[in-house]
Structure 1
Amino acid sequence: MITLEFITVIVFIFIGARIGGIGIGLAGGAGVIFLSLVLGMPTSQSLIPIDVILIIMSVITAIAAMQVAGGLDWLVQLAENFLRKNPKRITFYAPIVTYFMTIFAGTGHTAFSTLPVIAEVAKEQGIRPSRPLSISVIASQVAITASPISAAVVFFSGILEPVGVSYLTLLSICIPSTFIACMIGAFVANKMGCELKDDPVYNERLKKGLIKMRGVTKRELPASAKPATCIFMLAIICVIIYAAAISSSVGLIQDPTLGRNEAIMAIMLTAAAAIVVFTKIDASKIANAPTFISGMTACICVLGVAWLGSTFVSNHVVGIKEVAGAVLIDYPWTLAIILFLASMLLYSQGATTVALMPAALAIGVAPLTAIASFAAVSALFVLPTYPTLLAAVEMDDTGSTRIGKFVFNHPFLIPGVSTIASSVILGFFFGGMIL
């Protein structure tokens, strides 16, 4: 019976992946119906990652308000100025930009706005655009596991606190390990492929006149751009300070009336309100902002997939512990492989974290192992169907960022695997020193 139930979970995840986009969440809901009504597996509302969904909604609302006010355009302008001042090292500087934009925003979708700049600067310098584009997309994904306001980090820190690992401790391990790993990935990406001038696809497109130089993009920024961004940054600082103040390691606030998750939601909604009030933007436009739409899509994906996975795991946690517990304890690095393979299908760091991390801790995986393996939930680049990956392919009119006929032979795979493997190793290193 457990085999049939497991196959059911995989089949519905596969169906969702084939549909694409929000489809994986929709298929997850259908899978829950099949498990419960057809196979008789009990489920409940407690298995739904409500806090994760609410945090995504709150953070995305604040980001969307900032975007409507022009804040994201200002950040992109700053990024473009930085990259154009250091064009020769764009393969190393571009992932720094996308990494910290994701850290700041809590979503990797901020990379969309910087990809055209990265492709253009690389092309102007005669650098193969696939190099900076590939590692930039990967950095925007891996940085989710180091962002103080990402749903994955907030949920993971919540289940780590009962075993003695605080929110700040998690960030102090994840931020340096993922950032250094991205720089290692950039080094690997910088060696990938032939030089642009030697690429036959590029030369053919050049002869056909299909390659255009756009130059510096001039953006007319509204007066509201900078104040909106400052309000959002202040909100992030408030989240970190409050989380530190109520943590057991700092203990400035005893028995807080507002929990950390609730504080994140309240602070982000307040930030959105402040942006609307002080910048006088039209609040009705927030719901139509691209970041808001992508964030709500993420909510449905997390709801469906995490509910499906949690339903299966919660009903078989004892059996899973018997089968997998000994292996994970003897070979802790295998958790990273499990998370890597799961995130390939789930297309969400938050969904993968919610579905598997509680089970991993429940069967006796050490907190150090779980934290070190955390970056492996970011293997969204393996199948070349993730939105930011496809956007990078579309932005590169040189043809260097292309997907091969064997699907997996694309420029994101090797730098991505190198980055995640490096982050796991560094996670064990930094975690061993801090924990």
Structure 2
Amino acid sequence: MDIMLILQIIVLLGGIYLGVRLGGMGVGYAGGLGVIVLTLFLGMKTDLSHIPVDVILIIASVIAAITALQVAGGLDYMVQIAEKILRNNPKYINYLGPAVTYFLTILAGTGHTAFSTIPVIVEVAKGQNIKPSAPLALSVVSSQIAITASPISAAVVAMTGVTEKLGVSYPLLLGICIPTTFVGCMITSFIVNKFWDLDLSKDPIYQERLEKGLVAKVDTNVSYKEVSPESKRSLWIFIIGILVTVCYAFSISDNIKLFDKNILGRDSAIMSFMLAIGAIITITCKVETGKLIESSTFKSGMNACICVLGIAWLGNVFVQGHIGEIKDMASHIVTKYPFVLAIALYFVSCLLYSQAATTKVMMPAIAAALGMTMDNNGQVWILVASFAAASGLFILPTYPTVLGAIAMDDTGTTRVGKYIFNHSFIVPGTLAVFFSVLLGFIVAPMLIG
């Protein structure tokens, strides 16, 4: 290993570390700074092909539709439905919490919808004398893993861009990812519910906070605000729009071919359909367009776009600069030990802060390293089976939904340990990823092979 490579690795890891320390859009800022250092001072090259433009545009268009939904009141209505499900079945919070956040992410294409359910999960868990840390960890992790199964997420779109060229269609990819990830999350919920110490009253930190009056009383008189016709209408428009988008994406796949994908391809269809959904909601629900950019959804979406722009660009510059060495190493290791790819995705995702960025950086490089083509695609199942492992965003307790869960749990059971990595999310999250990948390794070769 020469000195130049060592310096390049230092800049790569340094940029990621700086981004994590800055948080939020700082992740993207640090990535851009790293690109400058790698190219102008350390001899690496870059061009526009290294920027994940398709991923960024998918995120932006999906967020545009959800923003209109939020301003019209449809997002609050959807959350209210989820809240009723959780409150009406409190004993099953360790199962329903992650199931609700999983399907909210499937529908919305972003895990940030979990924010809205966190206070409800805390309230319901306290009412059942269950440590909120258990359902919160399960729910936050499920919302992240569901990104790798959502038909409109940027990660799935990026993955499809790789796998379709290797003979795995969009419907087949979803047909593998949705059941394996959901069942993986539910198996983890069963293990936590069965073997974890969930008795809230025995937690010393909770007792200490209770004595100091830092724990809010459980509100048993929950009232729901009246839902306006516009709120209901906007949610139905959004759901129907998602279904139409997914059906169209299915219809242009190579197995079905109802429409010519050369006229309106899958990526373009998702982007244009999402913008159209936003337009229909805005028109029919009388949304004030001036309020759109003020919404929390729009702000979180813009944050995500900048993060992916900077950090994925930085990662791509490094990967493409050493693609030859990566191919040589991966062709030997991944072929012999397929599970190594899942381990790599798991740790890379916590550094790149995004499933989409991880997919965009890693999957094409690994596919190329293994010499995969449409005629030589016998190992493509390894990519599909390992895909869920790109959800290790919880490893560092700095991801927004992780921080939100810690901050909103007034019992103190959801916390970061002395050694940073021994936090409430690490074990449930790792188990959920493990079972999702394990099921993928069973199902993917059966359906693809």
TM-score category of the 2 structures, normalised to the smaller one: over 0.9
Among residues 256, 267, 276, which one is paired with 1:270 in the alignment? Answer: 276
Match of 1:17 among 14, 17, 20: 20
Are the equivalent residues in 1 in contact too, given 2:86–2:124 (CA < 8 A)? yes
Q: Distance in 2 between matches of 1:414 and 1:281?
A: 43
Other structure's SS at 1:114 match: helix
Q: What letter is aligned with 1:285? A: K
1:193 is displaced (CA, Å) by 3.6
CA distance in 1, matches of 2:171, 2:261: 18
TM-score by length of 2: 0.94
Equivalence for 1:74: 77
1:269-308 deviations in whole A, cap 9, x for unaligned? 0000000000001011111111111111111111111111
Determine the structure 2 residue equivalent to 1:197. Answer: 201
- Where does 1:149-160 land on structure 2 (aligned, <5 Å)? 149-160=152-163
Structure 2: distance between partners of 1:386 and 1:288: 22
CA drift of 1:256 comes to 3.6
Q: Structure 2 matches for 1:181-330, cutoff 5 A? A: 181-190=184-193, 191-212=195-216, 213-215=218-220, 216-254=222-260, 256-330=262-336
Look up the match of 1:397: 410
1:368 matched to 2:381? The reply is yes
Gap change, CA 1:245 and 1:195, over 3 Å in 2: same
Q: Is the 8 A contact 1:128 1:195 kept in 2?
A: yes
Q: Tell me, which stretches of 5 or more residues in structure 1 are unaligned?
A: none
- Paired with 2:13 and 2:417, the residues of 1 have a C-alpha distance of 26
Question: Which residue does 1:177 correspond to in 2?
Answer: 180
Does the CA-based 8 Å contact 1:115-1:133 persist in structure 2? yes
Moved more, 143-152 or 37-46: 37-46
- Of 366, 370, 378, which aligns to 2:391? 378
- Indicate the residue corresponding to 1:429 in structure 2: 442
Q: Which residue number in structure 1 is paired with residue 48 of structure 2?
A: 45
CA contact (8 A) 2:330 2:366 kept: no
* Range that drifts further, 216-225 or 397-406: 216-225
Identity score, percent: 53
8 Å Cα contact 1:192/1:411 also seen in 2? no
Q: What amino acid is the match of 1:400?
A: T
Contact 1:77 1:219 in 2 (8 A): no
AA at the equivalent of 1:67: Q
Of 306-315 and 165-174, more deviation after overlay is shown by 306-315
More off after superposition, 4-13 vs 420-429: 4-13
CA drift of 1:175 comes to 0.2
Number of the residue aligned with 2:428: 415
Residue 385 of structure 1 aligns to a residue whose secondary structure is coil
Counterparts of 1:194 and 1:295 in 2: how far apart (Å)?
35
Give the Cα–Cα distance (whole angstroms) in 2 for the partners of residues 217 and 335 of structure 1.
48
Task: Please give the alpha-carbon distance, in whole angstroms, between the structure 2 residues aligned to 1:256 and 1:41.
Answer: 35
User: What is the TM-score normalised by the length of structure 1?
Assistant: 0.97
Superimposed CA distance per residue, residues 227-262 of structure 1 (whole angstroms, 9 cap, x where no aligned partner)? 111111111111111111111011112354111100
- Is the counterpart of residue 36 in structure 1 residue 39 in structure 2? yes
Task: Check conservation: 2:58, 2:267, Cα contact below 8 A.
Answer: yes
CA distance in 2, matches of 1:88, 1:272: 37
- 1:334 pairs with one of 335, 340, 343: 340
Which residue identity lines up with residue 218 of structure 1 in the other structure?
A: Y
Residue 315 of structure 1 and its aligned partner are, at CA, apart by 2.1
Report the equivalent of 1:355: 361
**Alignment equivalent of 2:114, drawn from 98, 111, 114:** 111
State how far apart, in whole Å, the 2-side matches of 1:36 and 1:405 are: 38
CA distance in 2, matches of 1:217, 1:169: 43
Unaligned runs of 5+ in 2: 373-378
In 2, the alpha carbon distance for the partners of 1:382 and 1:270 equals 37
CA distance in structure 2 between the partners assigned to 1:306 and 1:23 by the alignment: 13
Judge conservation of contact 1:134–1:189 (CA < 8 Å) in 2: no
Separation in 2, partners of 1:276, 1:142:
31
Inter-partner Cα distance in structure 1 for 2:361 and 2:197 = 37
Greater CA drift, 415-424 or 30-39? 30-39
Shift of 1:157: 0.3
Please, what is the CA RMSD of the aligned residues?
A: 1.3
